[in-house]
Amino acid sequence: MVITKKKSVDRRTTPIRLFITKTSRSLLKGTLAGLLATASLAVASTADHSEFKVLQGTFATGPDVTKACLECHTEAAAQVQKSIHWNWKIDPAKDSREPGKDNIINNFCMAVRTNEARCTSCHAGYGWKDDKFDFTKQENVDCLVCHDTSGEYSKFPTMAGHPNYTPKEWPPKSGKIREPVDLAKVARSVGESSRDNCGSCHFYGGGGDSVKHGDMDSTLSKPSFGLDVHMDADGLNMTCQDCHTTVDHITAGSRITMNARDMNGIDVPGHEFGGRATCESCHDSDPHKDGPAPLLNKHVAKVACQTCHIPEFARDKKTKVAWDWSTAGKSKETLKDEEGNITYSPKKGDFTWQKKVPPEYAWFNGKMNYTLIGDKTEKNAEGVVELVKLEGSAADSGSRIWPFKVMRSVTPRDPETGQMIVPHLFGKDDAAFWKSYDWQKAAAAGMKAVDQPFSGKVEFTKTTYLFPITHMVAPADQALDCVACHNRDNSRMAGIGGIYLPGRDHSEWLDRIGMLLVLMSILAGIGHGLLRYTRRTKGGQL
């Protein structure tokens, strides 16, 4: 975790805490940016955690720190235990078919199950190393990963969410030693979550910086105005929670529960509080004020703000756009590109990285149908398994055109059952793929662990996985130009059906007939004129 702030100050940077009544709504509309800018003052907390008695002395483990936190914050762990950060799905019921990190199959490391100890280094808890983890134990909640302001706390990559308590080598066989975290010091410097707290997991999704989302990576730690107008470190400097408003440790906004078209407009605190995770929450649904504002505002009903205002993602750092697992284990040599991104890893196969990626677009009503463990999959006409299927259409009022990062991978599938394989990748046992590089064994172990049938056959299939793009909002003058979509030959909306788009669409036959009519009248004029000219000697009228 890279944290630059020194003091444990509670930052109160947002309009969340500004008392805004419904009557001042119109004022808010026009001047939100101004309010935000002036509200960007660090307000000191009324509590200095370094003074607290329970936090003096030393702590042996993370859970020991949590116990101390809970002495005063008696409800905190219970709140966290209701959150998606804890349960990794919206509905924590054990057999729930609601999607979550816990049961979704993606095309990065495919699935969490049987690989917990590695994956849960990004769990807001301690000790989730297999399916026997106790989700009710309060001291298992990790307060520090979200609330450390010293920048010194970090979880060890393979210890099921614990930081290392003794010196340990990482990466393996690198000779580099990670010193244990000074838990006491970290415990005494807790405060409100910063971008880096969230970023310690969310920037590194998929196992590394900028791998997964494309619109979230470490460049958002201190972004420029050009990269992100909201989080601009020298400007608004907004934190994640300024939009992902968090109440009782429940965070608003998630790609699992998307709101593709917010009809609520501005969410005024104290009146219509439902979280501020949509653009409309602050900008309202007629956000454009200058230039051809009425025309632009008409787009709001059908086009997500992000579609024009995030013309490219991964603008400062490459993101992974393709991952071929079929080549994993075939060579022993790790390859890197000129920026140091791994392009081949013996454990993971081939990667493709891309910077300044233009998103792909689709109608979207907020519902993403994920492939869950146990789901049978089908290949589409191109032989690709779409792991995420979007809902939405032009005809539906709740749908808008949204931008997506499309991840294109080659991942293992059982050709007999049609299920995507949940491979057992991580572990010290012989079946783990990263131990013995045997897909058959890894698949058998993984599928058995999740109680799913396995035919014994593994095929490698092209798969796609989707992320809605919503971060890295570009400065207004860099928003997509009209002609990027309103043109015939390379419209960004080329694949968007169900609407008539001026400039992109036209009737070929109508234009042909029209052209013919015009041509005929030109020819008639020329013919008539020539005849008049050649016979003008006859006298009279021309």
Stated as kind and residue range, the H or E segment containing 64 is helix 62-72
How many amino acids of this chain bind ligand HEM (CB under 6 A)? 2
Q: Which residues in the 342-381 window bind ligand HEM by CB under 6 A? A: none
Min separation Cβ 117 and other proteins, Å:
48
Among 35, 184, 482, 494, the residue binding other proteins under the rule CB under 8 A is 482
Among 64, 391, 487, 494, the residue binding other proteins under the rule CB under 8 A is 487
How many amino acids of this chain bind other proteins (CB under 8 A)? 47
Which partner in other proteins, ligand HEM, none is near 360 (CB below 5 to 8 A by kind)? none
Which partner in ligand HEM, other proteins, none is near 514 (CB below 5 to 8 A by kind)? other proteins
According to DSSP, the residues that pair with 352 across neighbouring strands are 322
Q: Is 502 in the site for ligand HEM (CB under 6 A)?
A: yes
Yes or no: say if 404 and 466 are a contact pair by the CB < 8 Å rule: yes
Which partner in ligand HEM, other proteins, none is near 171 (CB below 5 to 8 A by kind)? none
Name residue 437's amino acid.
Y
Rounded CA-CA distance 153/176 in Å is 18
Q: Is 522 in the site for other proteins (CB under 8 A)?
A: yes
Yes or no: say if 404 and 398 are a contact pair by the CB < 8 Å rule: no
Q: Is 483 in the site for other proteins (CB under 8 A)?
A: yes
Binding segment for other proteins (CB under 8 A), chosen from 242-250, 382-390, 402-410, 527-535, is 527-535
Task: Look at residues 359, 329, 361, 367 and name the one whose alpha carbon lies nearest to residue 345.
Answer: 329
Token output for 459: 């095929």
Rounded CA-CA distance 535/542 in Å is 8
Q: Which residues in the 127-186 window bind other proteins by CB under 8 A? A: none
Q: Is 506 in the site for ligand HEM (CB under 6 A)?
A: yes
Binding segment for other proteins (CB under 8 A), chosen from 98-106, 348-356, 431-439, 531-539, is 531-539
Binding segment for other proteins (CB under 8 A), chosen from 20-28, 175-183, 291-299, 337-345, is 291-299
Q: Is 223 left (phi over 0), alpha (psi -120 to 50) or beta?
A: beta
Task: Look at residues 330, 332, 335 and name the one whose alpha carbon lies nearest to residue 351.
Answer: 335
Alpha helices per DSSP H over 278-407? 280-283, 293-299, 305-309
Is 235 or 398 the residue whose CB approaches other proteins more closely? 398
Q: Which residues in the 386-405 window bind other proteins by CB under 8 A? A: 393-397
Q: Is 529 in the site for other proteins (CB under 8 A)?
A: yes
Residue 249: strand, helix, or coil: coil
Min separation Cβ 475 and other proteins, Å:
17
Min separation Cβ 361 and other proteins, Å:
15
Beta-carbon contacts of residue 263 (< 8 Å; ≥ 6 apart): 285
Largest CA distance in the chain: 119
Yes or no: say if 248 and 241 are a contact pair by the CB < 8 Å rule: no
Is 322 or 482 the residue whose CB approaches other proteins more closely? 482
Rounded CA-CA distance 354/316 in Å is 11
Q: Is 503 in the site for other proteins (CB under 8 A)?
A: yes
According to DSSP, the residues that pair with 319 across neighbouring strands are 354
**Binding site residues, ligand HEM, CB under 6 A:** 502, 506
Residues that bind other proteins (CB under 8 A): 292, 295, 298, 301-302, 393-397, 481-483, 486-488, 498-500, 502-507, 510-511, 513-515, 517-518, 520-522, 524-525, 528-529, 531-532, 535, 538-542
